[in-house]
Amino acid sequence: MEVSGPEDDPFLSQLHQVQCPVCQQMMPAAHINSHLDRCLLLHPAGHAGHAEPAAGSHRAGERAKGPSPPGAKRRRLSESSALKQPATPTAAESSEGEGEEADDGGETESRESYDAPPTPSGARLIPDFPVARAGSPARKGSGKRPAAAAAAGSASPRSWDEAEAQEELEEAGGDGDADADGEDDPGHWDADAADAAFGTGGGSRAHPRALAAEEIRQMLEGKPLADKMRPDTLQDYIGQSRAVGQETLLRSLLETNEIPSLILWGPPGCGKTTLAHIIANNSKKHSIRFVTLSATNAKTNDVRDVIKQAQNEKSFFKRKTILFIDEIHRFNKSQQDTFLPHVECGTLTLIGATTENPSFQVNAALLSRCRVIVLEKLPVEAMVTILMRAINSLGIHILDSSRPTDPLSHSSNSSSEPSVLMEDKAVDTLAYLSDGDARTGLNGLQLAVLARLSSRKMFCKKSGQTYSPSRVLITENDVKEGLQRSHILYDRAGEEHYNCISALHKAMRGSDQNASLYWLARMLEGGEDPLYVARRLVRFASEDIGLADPSALTQAVAAYQGCHFIGMPECEVLLAQCVVYFARAPKSIEVYSAYSNVKACLRSHQGPLPPVPLHLRNAPTRLLKDLGYGKGYKYNPMYSEPVEQEYLPEELRGVDFFKQRRC
Ligand SMILES: Nc1ncnc2c1ncn2[C@@H]1O[C@H](COP(=O)(O)OP(=O)(O)OP(=O)(O)O)[C@@H](O)[C@H]1O
């Protein structure tokens, strides 16, 4: 559970808060003097607004050197970790704030929009990318963005204006150092570092610090690129104009900080968590607590804790709490019920994100108290814009296929040329193949670049030329490979979902308990709904085990109910137990096949179906008795010996569905 808000002593820190007149940051009154000394030194006139951690805390750069969130965590966890932002400036001082970025004073600096221009069909998709000069998308509070974008947009690495590059460099510290504040942070992703360094090296051959392949490789290692590139402001939030476009109600509500309870519904990677992250950033400016839970690992007690804290905050400090629950559909109905009264009475504003239809997955009562925001798959143009933003931040140049000569081949000063280039069609292909999922696109890009940089195969297939080892060309094939590798992650909504459940079914049928457990874990770890797996087990109990072990059905139904009661992650072991039981159980498809035969018989029947024999009909009235209903029926319990009696319609007499396929 991640909670951002007043931590160590909420009472004191709230009561004695003052605002720094230079960087606007809130902090305990006791810290203001020492903070001001530092702040004035760091932010002379004109730099106000660039926030600095309060006195007593580490400087931003120092904090950033601390261990960054583990990138090896599974995807959902790493996504939720992206919301570990201090909700208020005071939170930056708390221990939980450590390791997080500095406050986002840099956001106040000018930042050009990344909205992609409409692309005519069939035209190249890479937009003439606006040069973003300030405000890093990857890091709040950062200073400069490179004009690498310009090079990409104009498709010529040489179109970059030298003077502009030098100016950018000087603004960024003048020495090619990563941070305008002079904070060096080699081990941490720093878009500024990339920007400042590449901005000067990318187009301006005069500058000695074009990003070397090795530098890019280091920047790409660790945290997923999608996390690093998560936008902090609505301005950088691409697409989704129906939901948060300029004229929408939601946008005006967000701008006035009137956040209603929301359910964000959309396919994976379309920006649900990102929108919540933007709301979180915004709320911290208004002293609203923003708490994040992921339904994949939060327990009911975590929810209760959040509610209790929200009640305290409301009654003692009149402070609102926004609770963001990622994958809310994975909470069972009773867990969802826990929020209901608190959303109702305004203790909590709930923001839930779900990939599943909320009509089925979210309690009707809760749903009726939330505004459902439908986010769509990102269109290809938006994907290109998002990818280009990352490509520019990394200092990768785009190679224009329409140019008659390869810029790599006629470099006069090879040492200062950009060292990593990417085919323009590789970007288009990546945007198309990502299927509206920005995470897939960005992580595919990361894998493609990393793979290419690690293998150091530096030749251009088109020209057949090889280049110096310091140059790398990322091709369309590289991104295709990168995408394939990133798809190893389980795709809950797509083909992988069906492939894995089929593999599980077959492994249990083949009595392979190891493989059965493997496929189960692969689905659950990938974010599969445990109730979906449980429903399939109920079916398997009858289809494949049947009367060979009739208690299998009881086991499956119990597992289903157990999953429903306790939800993930606790229910995974219930499913594991059931899966192993089924893999070990004797199998019989006798009933399943016989029933299939009956169905086939009915479907292939020509003409009207045979009537129910009169002796089998019930005769509750005299009239029916007179018509012969029930006549001649032998009531079995009255006979001690076996009863000779027909139960099938006359024309089916002698048919044995257990032996033959068709009647
Ligand atoms: N609209 C957008 N504009 C810019 N970047 C985006 C946008 N949507 C997604 N991204 C990028 O894609 C990454 C993944 O997006 P996000 O985590 O918001 O997806 P999601 O819809 O919550 O997915 P899931 O349901 O799988 O958790 C983000 O970190 C961000 O870098």
DSSP letters of 119-179? --TTS-----PPPP-B--SSSTT--B--THHHHHHHT-GGGS-HHHHHHHHHHTTSSS-S-
**What's the pLDDT at 35?**
65
Worst-scoring range by mean pLDDT, 167-176, 386-395, 437-446, 514-523? 167-176
Q: Three-class SS string for 269-288? A: CCCHHHHHHHHHHHHHHCCC
Share of the chain above pLDDT 90, in %: 29
79 lines ligand 1 (CB under 6 A): yes
Q: What is the mean pLDDT of the chain?
A: 70
Residue 99 has pLDDT above 60, yes or no: no
Most confident range (mean pLDDT) of 84-98, 232-246, 391-405, 408-422 is 232-246
Q: How confident is the model at residue 485 (pLDDT cuts 50, 70, 90)?
A: low
Q: Is the CB of 270 under 6 A from ligand 1?
A: yes
Residue 237 Cβ inside 6 Å of ligand 1? The answer reads yes
d(CA 132, CA 204): 17
Distance 237 CA to ligand 1 centre (A): 9
Contact of 434 with 255, CB cutoff 8 Å: no
Q: Higher model confidence: residue 377 or residue 147?
A: 377
Strands 348-354 and 262-265: parallel
**pLDDT tens track for 275-334:** 999 988 888 777 888 898 888 777 778 888 889 999 998 888 888 899 999 988 888 877
Q: Distance between CA atoms of 646 and 131, rounded to whole angstroms?
A: 86
With a 6 A CB cut-off, is 355 part of the ligand 1 pocket? yes
Q: How confident is the model at residue 537 (pLDDT cuts 50, 70, 90)?
A: very high
Distance CA 296, CA 9 (A): 30
- Tell me the torsion sign for CA atoms 459, 465, 470, 471: negative
Q: How many CA within 13 A on the CB side of residue 287?
A: 18
- Ligand 1 centroid – CA 497 distance (Å): 21
Cβ 379 vs Cβ 170: under 8 Å: no
> Amino acid identity, residue 640?
S
If one residue of 234, 274, 297, 361 were mutated to test the ligand 1 pocket, choosing by the most ligand atoms within 8 A of its CB, it would be 274
Relative to the CA of 238, which ligand 1 atom is closest? 3
Angle at 620 between CA 616 and CA 622, to 5 degrees: 105
The pTM (predicted TM-score) of the whole model is 0.49
Residue in 235, 241, 273, 293 to alter for ligand 1 test, most ligand atoms within 8 A of Cβ: 273
Ligand 1 center from residue 278 Cα (angstroms): 11
CA of 420 to the centre of ligand 1 (A): 26
pLDDT at site 128: 40
